[in-house]
Amino acid sequence: MAIIYNLDVRCYEILEQLLYTDEYMSVAQIADERGMSKRSVYYDIQKINEWLEAQELPLLEIERKKGIFIDKTEKELIRKNIKEMPAKLVYAFSPTERIRIIICSILQRSRQLHIDDFIELCQVSRNTTINDIKEATRAIAEFQLQLSYETGKGYCIHGDFKTKRTVFFLYFNSLSDFYKKGALPLDHPERVNSILNRLKIIEEKLQAQYVTGILYSIAVFFSTIKNRTQTTEFSEDTIQEIASTTEYRLVQEIFHEFNENEKLYLALHLLGSRTQSLSIEFMQDDTGTETLCLAKVLVRAFSRIACITFEKEEELTQAITAHLKTSLYRYRYGVQLGNPMLDDIKNEYGDLFEITRNAVKYLEKEIGVPIPDGEIAYITLHFGAYISSGERQTEEKLKVLVVCPNGLSTANMIRKEILTLVPNIQIVDNIPLSEYKKEHGYSVVISTIVIEEEENLIIVHPILTDSDRISILKKCMKYQSQNAINIMQITDIAKKYIPEQKIKAFKDELVKYFSGLSLDSYIKQNDYGQGICQVLDKRHIQIVEESMDWKQCVQIASRSLLAEGYIGKSYIENIIEKTKKYGSYMFITEEVVLLHSEIQDGSYQLGISCSIFKEPVVFLKRDGGERRAKIALVLSAENQVSHLKILNDIMTIFKEEKNTNIIWKCNSEESVKNNIRKMIEEDI
């Protein structure tokens, strides 16, 4: 049975993917999904078949023009055998993973570490390991830490004590699965399990849900705490704040062997690692009031920058308040969790991420500390989940359950995508894994992790891919009233003319066809419209030589959009009324004003105009001061998302002061448009 060991992690993940799909999966789909070549997929399928053969199970077959499909009976047999598979699988670590393994091994070391130790851990050559150590040295230099080799001590990392701990948690969370599966060794596994079990008791007593994998990371870190002589120092105010929490009281009760500083540090991690909503009492204390104010600052900043209003602003504010209540501990005390979804969020929701980054600057001013990209990514998901992309019908009886251990922001984003993708869903509920019950009464369960014995399960990534969206559509097709009726009616008619043995294949083709229609009509959530270069036309650009007051400026800057029906007169009137009431709040830089109002105020379609005022126009601030506009942009939108790409382009252009002057000095519409295009292309 030694052949079992040939099933490496990549093969295991491909097999798991096939076990949790109800459709054929082509080799091209698998390759696309996993970022592999088709040749590599064929090779892995061959290895999977070797394992299946050793288990005396049916082999995977690749059907021409269809792909691979495993029927229900075979799935149950394979799942039963997978449970008996050894935990330690062969795995080829990526360069990034090897660098993080080296750094985390040194930071938690319980003995001297030499180059041979890293060769054994990462299973690569000496030359590759030497290069990895050089890259690790460069990586931690960004945190003002130094990696060096010392005779008699081995490899060490020097620098600020708190920063070293921050780096450990930033990197280790992405490696934790390798340790859990046995692909990487733990120095003291029994100590890790003891601490982890006690942390789970605290989690249960708090009725909290923690970021995926963080309790395990904390357990590993504190299992080697005796290896370190330095301890974290806290100010008196910080000690009082942490010591007043339930987290600290539970730590004191359960981890009595830790010294006082380590108890405080552990409580700090528990305070900063929750993902779910907090109790009413916790939200209503002094810190809860502070975070509510900060959440309002952030939501209003986003609304102003993104030129949108949230239909459920109060609900969004409460969600961000709950997030900030825990994350403020991280911001202020340097606790880093790492965000394994950061790159995916940047790729899938790049424009939304950049707008959020700009809004977060207002939060940074309030709290006086910078907020890292990983945290901005979580906040991005909160905003994305509450941006409305249009009206939806709720007449059908399809009920969907989302199970996601990555936090409420991720679950809400998935929920929002599902509602847009399948408009006739009646209910979409989010729950953490701990609340999942087999007898749940939902039509479909969508989860970011495997839930064994769940028959109607769709496994998706925390940030939905196109493949995930197609899987959701196909699974939900039979519940969609109009399409379901069409399929049944057409199939009934076809039975008169098609042999019985071909009816199922015919029905499958219909499902595929209708799901294709649904997918074509679906506007992807990361599709935030066209950019400024595509929307801004020369006829909406003007050079204004004469001087005027701000009301005339608003009217002249808006006239081309008004003339072509992009906006109505009421839209211009509302811009003027808002400016009277709130002053010059629409300025995005000292000399550029972005004039806009709500969609319901008379905005009919997506448009942008750009007016250059050679005699800068004076706008009055609420405190009586003045701001002078050299450039006035007027933005109109048709929904809450179609203009976000343009907004991101505007911020990209005008974040550089020199760009304002370049455009202001232009003397023709053609020159303005060409310079804007050049600025966008240079940034790309």
Average pLDDT, the chain: 81
pLDDT at position 135 is 95
pLDDT at position 329 is 67
- The band of 283, judged by pLDDT with boundaries at 50, 70 and 90, is very low
Please tell me which of 21-30, 183-192, 373-382, 590-599 the model is most confident about, judged by mean pLDDT.
590-599
Instruction: Read off the tokens for 29.
Output: 């789909």
Tally of CB atoms within 10 A around 665? 12
- The band of 7, judged by pLDDT with boundaries at 50, 70 and 90, is low
**CATH 1.10.10.10 matches 2-82:** yes
pLDDT at position 149 is 93
pLDDT at 226 over 80: no
Query: Which tens digits make up the pLDDT trace of 58-90?
Result: 899 988 878 899 988 888 888 877 765 555 555
CA torsion sign for 100, 35, 463, 457 is negative
Residue 221: closest CA among 249, 181, 183, 258: 258
**CATH 3.40.50.1010 matches 398-521:** no
pLDDT at position 489 is 66
State the amino acid at position 380 in one-letter form: T
pLDDT at position 394 is 41
Query: Which tens digits make up the pLDDT trace of 417-431?
Result: 777 666 667 778 888
pLDDT at position 432 is 78
State the amino acid at position 328 in one-letter form: L
pLDDT at 488 over 70: no
Q: In this structure, are residues 123 and 186 in contact, taking their beta carbons and an 8 Å threshold?
A: no
Distance CA 414, CA 81 (A): 32
Strands 626-636 and 607-620: antiparallel
Any residues with CB less than 8 A from the CB of 514 and at least 6 apart, and which? 477, 480, 483, 486, 487
- For residue 636, give Cα distances in angstroms to 305, 354, 536, 558, 589: 14, 20, 12, 10, 19
* Domain range summary for the chain, segments of one domain joined by +: 2-82, 95-159, 189-271, 280-386, 398-521, 532-683
pLDDT at 516 over 90: no
Query: Which tens digits make up the pLDDT trace of 176-220?
Result: 888 887 778 888 889 999 999 999 999 888 877 676 677 888 899
pLDDT at 393 over 70: no
pLDDT at position 274 is 62
pLDDT at position 536 is 93
Q: What is the pTM of this model?
A: 0.59
Supply the DSSP symbol for 181: T
Q: Please list the alpha-helical segments (H only) found in 339-407.
A: 342-348, 350-367, 373-386
Partners of 525 in the β-ladder: none
pLDDT at 602 over 50: yes
What percentage of the chain carries pLDDT values higher than 70?
Answer: 82
SS3 of 479-546: the string is HCHHHHHHHHHHHHHHCCCCCHHHHHHHHHHHHHHHHHHHHHHCCCCCCCCCCHHHHCCHHHEEEECC
CATH number among 3.30.1330.10, 1.10.10.10, 3.40.50.620, 3.30.70.20, domain 95-159 = 1.10.10.10
Distance CA 457, CA 446 (A): 6
Sheet holding 626-636, edge to edge: 541-544, 607-620, 626-636, 592-595
Residue 118: closest CA among 138, 140, 134: 134
Distance CA 653, CA 636 (A): 19
Q: Which residue has the higher pLDDT, 295 or 422?
A: 295
DSSP 430-442: EE-GGG--S----
Topology of domain 532-683, per CATH? Mannitol-specific EII; Chain A (3.40.930)
pLDDT at position 625 is 86
Q: In this structure, are residues 60 and 77 in contact, taking their beta carbons and an 8 Å threshold?
A: no
- The band of 576, judged by pLDDT with boundaries at 50, 70 and 90, is very high
Burial class (CB in 10 A: 0-12, 13-18, 19+), 138: exposed
Compute the average pLDDT of residues 266-277: 71
pLDDT at 521 over 50: no
Residue written as tokens 């904390």? 218
pLDDT at position 252 is 93
Partners of 607 in the β-ladder: 636
Burial class (CB in 10 A: 0-12, 13-18, 19+), 563: exposed
State the amino acid at position 598 in one-letter form: E
pLDDT at 3 over 50: no
pLDDT at position 554 is 96
pLDDT at 553 over 60: yes
Any residues with CB less than 8 A from the CB of 247 and at least 6 apart, and which? 202, 206, 267, 270, 271
Please tell me which of 27-41, 101-115, 474-488 the model is most confident about, judged by mean pLDDT.
101-115
- For residue 654, give Cα distances in angstroms to 351, 468, 511, 677: 16, 37, 48, 13
pLDDT at position 13 is 79
For residue 6, the Cα-to-chain-centroid distance in whole angstroms is 34
Compute the average pLDDT of residues 20-37: 79
Tally of CB atoms within 10 A around 53? 12
Residue 410: closest CA among 457, 472, 468, 342: 342
What percentage of the chain carries pLDDT values higher than 90?
Answer: 26
pLDDT at position 414 is 80
- The band of 544, judged by pLDDT with boundaries at 50, 70 and 90, is very high
Fold agreement between 280-386 and 532-683: no
Q: Which residue has the higher pLDDT, 423 or 618?
A: 618
Q: In this structure, are residues 125 and 118 in contact, taking their beta carbons and an 8 Å threshold?
A: no
CATH architecture, range 280-386? Orthogonal Bundle (1.10)
